């Protein structure tokens, strides 16, 4: 359902209350912003729960193991990146 809103002089856009309630968006919600041409997409960033994060971590570890990535490979990669910092 189309809804209208207006951008302020500071670039702020108010999301209509009906939309905020429907998507359970609260004050302080962070968004990632995509644009293409004259289209703008706001995607809420939701912090995963501890159990969701644990599942993601398990999947990542399983993938790394199947790809042959070791704990030492990860430690070496982190060291390399940290050494490149200005």
Give the total number of structural domains in the chain. Answer: 2
Per-residue confidence (pLDDT) for residue 38, from 0 to 100: 96
Q: Do residue 64 and residue 30 come from a single domain?
A: no
Between the CA of residue 39 and those of 3, 32, 33, 34, 44, what are the distances in Å?
15, 14, 11, 8, 17
Per-residue confidence (pLDDT) for residue 1, from 0 to 100: 77
Per-residue confidence (pLDDT) for residue 36, from 0 to 100: 96
Between the CA of residue 57 and those of 14, 50, 51, 66, what are the distances in Å?
35, 10, 10, 14
Range of the domain at 56: 50-83
What CATH number should be reported for the domain holding residue 10? 2.10.260.10
| pTM score | 0.55
Per-residue pLDDT of the chain (86 residues; tens, 9 = 90+): 788 999 999 999 999 999 999 999 999 999 999 999 999 999 999 888 899 999 999 999 999 999 999 999 999 999 999 988 77
Q: Do residue 56 and residue 19 come from a single domain?
A: no
Q: Do residue 26 and residue 59 come from a single domain?
A: no
Q: Do residue 41 and residue 1 come from a single domain?
A: yes
Per-residue confidence (pLDDT) for residue 76, from 0 to 100: 94
Q: Do residue 1 and residue 41 come from a single domain?
A: yes
Decide if 16 contacts 5 (C-beta within 8 A).
Answer: yes
Contacts by residues 28-34 (CB-CB < 8 Å, ≥ 24 positions apart): none
d(CA 28, CA 42): 14
Q: Do residue 34 and residue 55 come from a single domain?
A: no
């Amino acid at each position: 359902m189309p809804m209208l809103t207006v951008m302020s002089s500071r670039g702020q856009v108010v999301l209509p209350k009906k939309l905020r309630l429907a998507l359970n968006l609260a004050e302080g919600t962070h968004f990632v912003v995509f644009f293409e041409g004259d289209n703008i997409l706001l995607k809420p960033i939701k912090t995963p729960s501890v159990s969701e994060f644990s599942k993601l971590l398990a999947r990542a570890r399983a993938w790394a193991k199947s790809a042959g990535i070791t704990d030492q490979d990860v430690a070496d990669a982190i060291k390399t990146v940290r050494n490149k910092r200005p």
